[in-house]
Chains A and B, each alone.
Chain A
């Protein structure tokens, strides 16, 4: 019985030649001895065991010593290193440029990865969807996520083959909880049985079935920690809104990060919500106040299910709602985050647009950095020509030279990548706070390192291909005879123009975006946010105690006025329809923004009455009066609106005043017809306070909070400033603006680095020409102009190319905004000027240095 062949082969492959004989002999002996006492299989296994135990440093071949392949690459590496050290300036620019470019690409990559992974935490995210509806108003289709209470049961009944789960859920809102002496606001939802599966919670303690019981609640880890610290939360009770005790039935893992259900700290049962709000039987199909989620049965296609349920509401709803032609459809979980926008009933993208925008920007920045590498390598070709000539004469094939230059770009790229990782680490916290997301380098995932290797290879191919092909094709005779091989550099000029075109486009973009933001910020508000503070009402007790609280604050002169209203002044999203007035076009589907206010609202927000008068608390009849905004005059079609009446809210309301339009919705939206009515229904949910300007804000707020607590001991006082809230409206655009600013700075930096090195190269190449010109009487000035002229020309060409592109792109960007700024010519002129000035300053260091050199120094060496 011979020992296993394969093991022997393996052994002779890795073991040192001088050891083969004795080791094979020993192992044979061992094998034969083993055979005597054990089975053949055991003996063979043991042989393998012995072979593998010879993988030790003393026994294995020294590959370094006898591989030509490796020697070759060692030599390449040595040459790369020497080149790097000899030309420190060029190397620095090469590595710095590439590192900056790679940093941008890396950050963009990490961010895109984060955004794309939204909602993928749920293992069955491909089967989950939210139900949306399209409704047609006049000619426009509006898309809502709001649904009627009746929809989920209807889906369950009518399509038992499609849906495994169909549930109604409340919106994500905050409620006040109390346990022991702790009172805290927590965000969460109330959802029907099965909802826990939709949200995808992972239970740590207790049972997921708790949502069947109206008196139970599931809470998150952080909720549990906040209230119960070290005690076990299950079985404890918490009081909701000072009204009702709920029993904690389970604790789930915190839902954090990139999900729609972020920051949900509790799941309440629908049964409880139903009782509390007294919903069942009281809300019709017309009340789209809730959200509906579904989970498809296994194997059901999302799209066909979406088409199948189109008419479910139209079929079931009463006649009145039919006129809006409701169409029901599914919005899959995988698209919630990136494709959240609908125009006229069609999904038109959303966040995905920014992903494309910044993905492309990141790629361009990387390309610009690679262009630097290309330009520097080819510009310095003359210096490498001799090396290439010698290598070729000694028998290097073209393919091997290509390999050498690729390995050089791989070497530089790898170095740059590690610098880029460092820069990314430093820059990431800044981007985190800017984007409001949690970004991190996933050091520990193999995917990251795999992607890194791919990224390095891609970048080195992008940067190294052109130099590798160009340099390797030099003729050895010409290069050894010192004929110039660098070419006329047309491609280099094209590449520089390309770099600066991109830079100028980004500068223009940055300016347009900041102009648009400024334009929006300068938009007349129609109210005054100075010292305006809001607190959102949490319980009925707060409304009952409001008069007492108000008197206390006003008596102490802490505030100049105070008001309760249905919506806040800056964010009034409630619309109502079905109003009637004299002269209304028959069949018109009217719609008004409405805000129920008290008599002091106008005084608090300082609105501007342009006709008629403000509410008068001394006139009892004013409880049936309304104030409209300017936009409403046209909408209603009144010439003189004062004294006219509107049938609304089951009453006849008289218009007593008209105010100047107030910005109460999106910062870029047109201002809609708005009605301010005296809130006789009792829908107040916002407390607005105008602080006394004579008292220090924080002192006043501290005192007001104390008074509030003394009147409402069970409620927290959580205020926010109207000006802060208003600033949030510009947040998206400011983010884009900041990112555009950073990209344009980075691109101009990279391009300048490149042009700085190019200028150095040019000055060196022309050093003899410069010296001769100086001897013949040229001034430093003239030489500076001579050297700068060419670059200035390139920038102007870049400006000509980039202007129409930037115009087209920014016009397209602005088209999305209703309230928008105009593109003016000076933006384009200024951008080109900026690029030009930066370039001239950058190259002047080199050109002036070249012009100041004593001609003797350069000419002597001939």
Chain B
């Protein structure tokens, strides 16, 4: 049985894959990550996480087209699977439920949906 919970980094990467949609490949995801979080990351680290998420069944991938900038090499485009989506939702719901139990916010129920 593979570990199916999401780490913080994994969750962000998974969300970025969703955001980037057709442009979701390792380099772009790394750029987007740096842009959104102001944290630096190596492409290798992102790639490694993508591979792990694919092994868990949260991501699917196929080879896309090439471009001159890439020296004519193709890229690997990632796509969220149904179970990837479920995992993201579970993770969000769990956090919301935690927030709702937080006494400081008890009177002012949060609702993200």
Q: A-side interface residues toward B, CB under 8 Å?
A: 21-30, 32-33, 49-50, 53-56, 58-59
**Interchain Cβ contacts under 8 Å between A and B, 6 examples:** A23-B26, A29-B70, A30-B27, A53-B42, A56-B45, A58-B47
Q: Closest approach, in angstroms, between the C-beta of B39 and any C-beta of chain A?
A: 14
Measured in the bound complex, the distance between the Cα atoms of B71 and A23 in whole Å is: 12
Whether the pair A23, B47 counts as a contact (CB closer than 8 A) is yes
Q: Closest approach, in angstroms, between the C-beta of B52 and any C-beta of chain A?
A: 7
Q: For residue B67, which residues in chain A have a CB less than 8 angstroms away from its CB? A: 29
Whether the pair A24, B73 counts as a contact (CB closer than 8 A) is yes
Measured in the bound complex, the distance between the Cα atoms of B45 and A30 in whole Å is: 14
Q: Closest approach, in angstroms, between the C-beta of B107 and any C-beta of chain A?
A: 47
Measured in the bound complex, the distance between the Cα atoms of B39 and A856 in whole Å is: 84
Measured in the bound complex, the distance between the Cα atoms of B69 and A21 in whole Å is: 13
Measured in the bound complex, the distance between the Cα atoms of B34 and A33 in whole Å is: 14
Measured in the bound complex, the distance between the Cα atoms of B50 and A59 in whole Å is: 12
A53-B43 contact given A25-B66, A58-B51, CB 8 Å threshold: yes
Q: For residue B51, which residues in chain A have a CB less than 8 angstroms away from its CB? A: 58
Tell me which of B30, B31, B48, B70 contacts A25 (CB under 8 A): B70
Q: For residue B56, which residues in chain A have a CB less than 8 angstroms away from its CB? A: none
Q: Which 6 A-B pairs have the closest CB atoms?
A: A25-B73, A53-B44, A53-B42, A25-B70, A26-B27, A54-B44
Tell me which of A26, A58, A59 contacts B75 (CB under 8 A): A26
Q: For residue A32, which residues in chain B have a CB less than 8 angstroms away from its CB? A: 69
Whether the pair B69, A59 counts as a contact (CB closer than 8 A) is no
User: Is B58 in the interface zone, CB < 8 Å from A?
Assistant: no
Complex interface residues of chain B between 33 and 88 (CB less than 8 A to chain A): 42-45, 47-48, 51-52, 63, 66-67, 69-71, 73-76
Q: Closest approach, in angstroms, between the C-beta of B51 and any C-beta of chain A?
A: 5
Whether the pair B69, A22 counts as a contact (CB closer than 8 A) is no
Whether the pair B48, A28 counts as a contact (CB closer than 8 A) is no
Whether the pair B44, A50 counts as a contact (CB closer than 8 A) is yes
Q: For residue B74, which residues in chain A have a CB less than 8 angstroms away from its CB? A: 21-22, 25
Whether the pair A22, B25 counts as a contact (CB closer than 8 A) is yes
Q: For residue B45, which residues in chain A have a CB less than 8 angstroms away from its CB? A: 53, 56
Whether the pair A28, B47 counts as a contact (CB closer than 8 A) is no
- A sample of 17 more A-B contacts (CB under 8 A), given A26-B47, A56-B48, is A22-B26, A22-B63, A23-B47, A24-B73, A25-B27, A25-B73, A26-B43, A27-B27, A28-B69, A28-B70, A29-B27, A30-B43, A49-B42, A58-B47, A58-B48, A58-B51, A59-B47
Residue of B27, B66, B75, B76 with most chain A CB atoms under a 10 A cut-off: B27
Measured in the bound complex, the distance between the Cα atoms of B26 and A586 in whole Å is: 108
Measured in the bound complex, the distance between the Cα atoms of B71 and A27 in whole Å is: 10
Nearest residue, chain B, Cβ from A2: B71
Whether the pair B48, A59 counts as a contact (CB closer than 8 A) is yes
Whether the pair B47, A25 counts as a contact (CB closer than 8 A) is no
Whether the pair B26, A24 counts as a contact (CB closer than 8 A) is no
Range for the number of chain B residues in contact with chain A: 20 to 34
A25-B75 contact given A30-B27, A33-B31, CB 8 Å threshold: yes
Measured in the bound complex, the distance between the Cα atoms of B9 and A683 in whole Å is: 87
Tell me which of A22, A54, A56 contacts B73 (CB under 8 A): A22
Interface of B, helix, strand, loop or mixed by DSSP: helix
Measured in the bound complex, the distance between the Cα atoms of B78 and A26 in whole Å is: 14
Whether the pair A50, B52 counts as a contact (CB closer than 8 A) is no
Q: For residue A21, which residues in chain B have a CB less than 8 angstroms away from its CB? A: 73-74
Whether the pair B71, A25 counts as a contact (CB closer than 8 A) is yes
The digit string for B3-37, where 1 denotes a CB below 8 A from any CB of A, is 00000000000000000000001110011000000
Q: Closest approach, in angstroms, between the C-beta of B20 and any C-beta of chain A?
A: 14
Nearest residue, chain B, Cβ from A27: B43
Whether the pair B75, A22 counts as a contact (CB closer than 8 A) is yes
Residue of A24, A28, A49 with most chain B CB atoms under a 10 A cut-off: A28
Measured in the bound complex, the distance between the Cα atoms of B47 and A59 in whole Å is: 9
Whether the pair A28, B43 counts as a contact (CB closer than 8 A) is no
Q: For residue A24, which residues in chain B have a CB less than 8 angstroms away from its CB? A: 71, 73
Q: Closest approach, in angstroms, between the C-beta of A28 and any C-beta of chain B?
A: 5
Whether the pair A50, B42 counts as a contact (CB closer than 8 A) is yes
Q: For residue B42, which residues in chain A have a CB less than 8 angstroms away from its CB? A: 49-50, 53
Q: For residue A54, which residues in chain B have a CB less than 8 angstroms away from its CB? A: 43-44, 47
Nearest residue, chain A, Cβ from B29: A26
Nearest residue, chain A, Cβ from B66: A25
Q: For residue A29, which residues in chain B have a CB less than 8 angstroms away from its CB? A: 27, 67, 69-70
Q: For residue A30, which residues in chain B have a CB less than 8 angstroms away from its CB? A: 27, 30, 43
Q: For residue B47, which residues in chain A have a CB less than 8 angstroms away from its CB? A: 23, 26, 54, 58-59
Tell me which of A26, A28, A49, A55 contacts B26 (CB under 8 A): A26
Measured in the bound complex, the distance between the Cα atoms of B75 and A53 in whole Å is: 19
Residue of A23, A25, A49, A55 with most chain B CB atoms under a 10 A cut-off: A25
Nearest residue, chain A, Cβ from B45: A53
Measured in the bound complex, the distance between the Cα atoms of B22 and A87 in whole Å is: 65
Nearest residue, chain A, Cβ from B55: A58
Q: Closest approach, in angstroms, between the C-beta of A78 and any C-beta of chain B?
A: 31
Q: For residue A50, which residues in chain B have a CB less than 8 angstroms away from its CB? A: 42-44
Q: For residue A28, which residues in chain B have a CB less than 8 angstroms away from its CB? A: 69-71, 73
Measured in the bound complex, the distance between the Cα atoms of B69 and A24 in whole Å is: 11
Measured in the bound complex, the distance between the Cα atoms of B50 and A58 in whole Å is: 10
Measured in the bound complex, the distance between the Cα atoms of B30 and A22 in whole Å is: 14
Residue of B44, B70, B76 with most chain A CB atoms under a 10 A cut-off: B44
Measured in the bound complex, the distance between the Cα atoms of B48 and A145 in whole Å is: 73
Q: For residue A53, which residues in chain B have a CB less than 8 angstroms away from its CB? A: 42-45
Whether the pair A59, B44 counts as a contact (CB closer than 8 A) is yes
Measured in the bound complex, the distance between the Cα atoms of B31 and A806 in whole Å is: 82
Q: Closest approach, in angstroms, between the C-beta of A46 and any C-beta of chain B?
A: 9
Measured in the bound complex, the distance between the Cα atoms of B47 and A49 in whole Å is: 14
Q: For residue A26, which residues in chain B have a CB less than 8 angstroms away from its CB? A: 25-27, 43, 47, 70, 75
Measured in the bound complex, the distance between the Cα atoms of B43 and A30 in whole Å is: 9
Q: Closest approach, in angstroms, between the C-beta of A111 and any C-beta of chain B?
A: 51
A22-B76 contact given A27-B43, A28-B70, A53-B42, CB 8 Å threshold: yes
Q: Closest approach, in angstroms, between the C-beta of B44 and any C-beta of chain A?
A: 4
Whether the pair B31, A56 counts as a contact (CB closer than 8 A) is no
Measured in the bound complex, the distance between the Cα atoms of B48 and A23 in whole Å is: 11
Measured in the bound complex, the distance between the Cα atoms of B51 and A56 in whole Å is: 11
Q: Closest approach, in angstroms, between the C-beta of B57 and any C-beta of chain A?
A: 16
Q: Closest approach, in angstroms, between the C-beta of B69 and any C-beta of chain A?
A: 5
Measured in the bound complex, the distance between the Cα atoms of B31 and A29 in whole Å is: 11
Q: For residue A56, which residues in chain B have a CB less than 8 angstroms away from its CB? A: 44-45, 48
Nearest residue, chain B, Cβ from A24: B73
Q: Closest approach, in angstroms, between the C-beta of A53 and any C-beta of chain B?
A: 4
Residue of B26, B45, B73 with most chain A CB atoms under a 10 A cut-off: B73
Measured in the bound complex, the distance between the Cα atoms of B74 and A424 in whole Å is: 61
Nearest residue, chain A, Cβ from B70: A25
Q: Closest approach, in angstroms, between the C-beta of A153 and any C-beta of chain B?
A: 71
Whether the pair B52, A58 counts as a contact (CB closer than 8 A) is yes
Q: For residue A23, which residues in chain B have a CB less than 8 angstroms away from its CB? A: 26, 43, 47
Measured in the bound complex, the distance between the Cα atoms of B47 and A54 in whole Å is: 9
Measured in the bound complex, the distance between the Cα atoms of B70 and A27 in whole Å is: 8
Nearest residue, chain A, Cβ from B63: A22
Q: For residue B71, which residues in chain A have a CB less than 8 angstroms away from its CB? A: 24-25, 28
Measured in the bound complex, the distance between the Cα atoms of B31 and A107 in whole Å is: 60
Q: Closest approach, in angstroms, between the C-beta of A249 and any C-beta of chain B?
A: 57
Q: For residue B27, which residues in chain A have a CB less than 8 angstroms away from its CB? A: 25-27, 29-30
Q: For residue A27, which residues in chain B have a CB less than 8 angstroms away from its CB? A: 27, 43
Q: Closest approach, in angstroms, between the C-beta of B42 and any C-beta of chain A?
A: 4
Q: Closest approach, in angstroms, between the C-beta of B67 and any C-beta of chain A?
A: 8
Q: Closest approach, in angstroms, between the C-beta of B19 and any C-beta of chain A?
A: 18
Residue of A23, A26, A33, A49 with most chain B CB atoms under a 10 A cut-off: A26
Q: Closest approach, in angstroms, between the C-beta of B30 and any C-beta of chain A?
A: 8
Q: For residue B66, which residues in chain A have a CB less than 8 angstroms away from its CB? A: 25
Measured in the bound complex, the distance between the Cα atoms of B44 and A55 in whole Å is: 8
Measured in the bound complex, the distance between the Cα atoms of B47 and A56 in whole Å is: 10
Q: Closest approach, in angstroms, between the C-beta of A80 and any C-beta of chain B?
A: 37
Q: For residue A59, which residues in chain B have a CB less than 8 angstroms away from its CB? A: 44, 47-48
Measured in the bound complex, the distance between the Cα atoms of B69 and A53 in whole Å is: 21
Q: Closest approach, in angstroms, between the C-beta of A543 and any C-beta of chain B?
A: 84
Nearest residue, chain A, Cβ from B72: A25
